[in-house]
Amino acid sequence: MKFLPCLLVLAALSACTQLQPRPTLPDEFAVAPGQETPLDKATHDVEGQRPGQSAFRLVVEGTEAYVTRMQAARLAMRSLDVQTYIWHSDLTGLSFAHALLEAADRGVKVRLLLDDMDARAKNDGLAALSFHPNIDVRMFNPFASRRGKMGFISEGASSFGRINRRMHNKTWIADNRIAIAGGRNIGDEYFGASDEVNFVDLDFAMIGPVVRDASASFDKYWNSPSAYPMEALDAASVTKEGLEKLRTALVEHMKGAADSRYAVALRSNDAIQRMLKGDWPLQWATTYQFVSDDPLKVTMEKKDAKRTYVGSVLVPMIQATQKQASIISPYFVPGEEVTTAFTGMAKSGREVRILTNSLIANDVAAVHGGYSRYRKDLVEGGVQLWELKPLAGQKAESSLFGSSGASLHTKAFAVDTKTLFVGSYNLDPRSTWLNCEQGVLVENPILAAELEQIFAQQTAGDHAWRVTLNDKKLHWSDGKEAFDSDPKAGWGRRFQAWMTKVLHLDAQL
């Protein structure tokens, strides 16, 4: 009986935290590109010289990814549209927030769309930003409760089917002239700035008509019934006092970060200016596609083709492989159907190469348990498999692997050194059926060769273990050390992975 009061409290909290329908709002759309802003002037003529084409650059290194976003924000004079799954309150996250506030102060229209699973914890700061007349903030698939663990738990328990579906998209668009999209969230570990584990990640920087395609995708999410304005969720926190408090905190943050390597890089690296002048490598392509799931995916109940538009685009791309498919997926849970498809391709003489996280490198050990159910079948079927190490490295600009460790976060595919895909989509059931995802598909042999080079670097013995069979048992080797079980993983991680494997929780991974 002593648990009855707790159950009654949870029931009461649950009743009070049901999300109400979003208020009826007029649709809003990206500001059309013009010819007045620095980004307009830099891109208008070069786009005109290549009608129907768009330009792409693979952004691998974390400092470049940071500088590219910051410079885009500083050059913007008309609009900034930012969509992300995670936004941390750390060195890079606060610096980006300051850049958006500065842009809004000079008259730029800022639209910030965040998934609420992470954003709820930053409710007050985001509400404060929303008070600015030039900043609109919306939460995707939000919690009705805005604070406290009890509200979070009770709402998650009562509305799990809804809360379990998230917006995983990441896009940064300036003046509808330049866009950055790929795997990176906003936070130190995504830009190589963490003193702990950093993510190996990848973006596309883009100019041309593909930017307008990215804006159209952003608009679709912005106007969806699942995107709630902060004023509808917590109007009491959208105040002038909150904005001034946040402004003061961000100014102090920027002063304290003035000597960071990221601030130094921003002062010395003119990446976007060089790109726009033509002396920073860009590859032009006629055949490309910006793909994103329907934002209504989070409300769909059945596993139908409409629910996984990104997946439906990738399937024919991979099926069309003639010689070689290279796949980088940090959270890789192929399931029986994909496993059968990949092993069938390998048996037909086509190379299928996969890089994913090792158990020790995976930041979600449970996902590894789902993946491990299919690992032996993949290797037996001829699929070439590597698992990334949690590598130590240096925080140098040239390093791909951060400071004290690395976890794979890149989501990318390359086929026949001709076609490549970079985005937010993992080869797992969560990306396919639960989360909203997006990405960019491009036909360009030079870009595809660059991605193959990245694959080769990250699967080298210094960075990854090759998984093979030895006497019909799985075997890991980097050419120097060999293991007969998941290398260097502690019992806690092994137990989490084992539990997920035994319980067959693939659908949630």
- Taking only the tens place, the pLDDT of each residue in 239-281 is 999 999 999 999 999 999 888 877 877 777 776 666 666 666 7
The predicted pLDDT at position 275 comes to 62
Average confidence (pLDDT) over 89-110? 97
Average confidence (pLDDT) over 70-95? 96
The predicted pLDDT at position 182 comes to 97
Closest CA to 384 of 481, 479, 467, 486: 467
The predicted pLDDT at position 18 comes to 82
For 189-219, what is each residue's pLDDT tens digit?
Answer: 999 888 878 899 999 999 999 999 999 999 9
- Res. 305 pLDDT band, cuts 50 70 90: low
Q: Where are the alpha helices (DSSP H) in 288-404?
A: 309-319, 335-347, 365-380
**Pick from 357-361, 428-432, 502-506: least confident:** 502-506
Specify whether the CB–CB gap between 360 and 390 falls below 8 A. Answer: yes
- Residue 334 is encoded by which pair of tokens? 């192929």
Mean residue pLDDT of the chain comes to 89
Q: Of 297 and 275, which is predicted with more confidence?
A: 297
Q: In this model, does residue 4 exceed pLDDT 60?
A: no
The predicted pLDDT at position 130 comes to 98
SS3 264: helix
For 410-422, what is each residue's pLDDT tens digit?
Answer: 999 999 999 999 9
Question: Is beta strand 405-408 parallel, antiparallel or unpaired with respect to 197-200?
Answer: parallel
Q: In this model, does residue 5 exceed pLDDT 60?
A: no
Just list the catalytic residues: 168, 170, 175, 409, 411, 416
17, 62, 313, 421 from 192: Cα distances, Å: 38, 5, 31, 23
Q: In this model, does residue 83 exceed pLDDT 50?
A: yes
The predicted pLDDT at position 398 comes to 28
- Res. 505 pLDDT band, cuts 50 70 90: low
**What pTM does this model have?**
0.92
Average confidence (pLDDT) over 232-242? 97
The predicted pLDDT at position 16 comes to 54
340, 436, 505 from 337: Cα distances, Å: 5, 21, 16
Beta strands in 251-370 (DSSP E): 283-285, 288-292, 324-328, 351-357
Specify whether the CB–CB gap between 160 and 402 falls below 8 A. Answer: no
Average confidence (pLDDT) over 312-333? 96
Could you give the count of Cα atoms lying within 13 Å of 313 in the half-sphere of its Cβ? Answer: 22
The predicted pLDDT at position 10 comes to 43
Q: In this model, does residue 468 exceed pLDDT 70?
A: yes
Q: Of 157 and 393, which is predicted with more confidence?
A: 157
Closest CA to 361 of 399, 410, 398, 397: 410
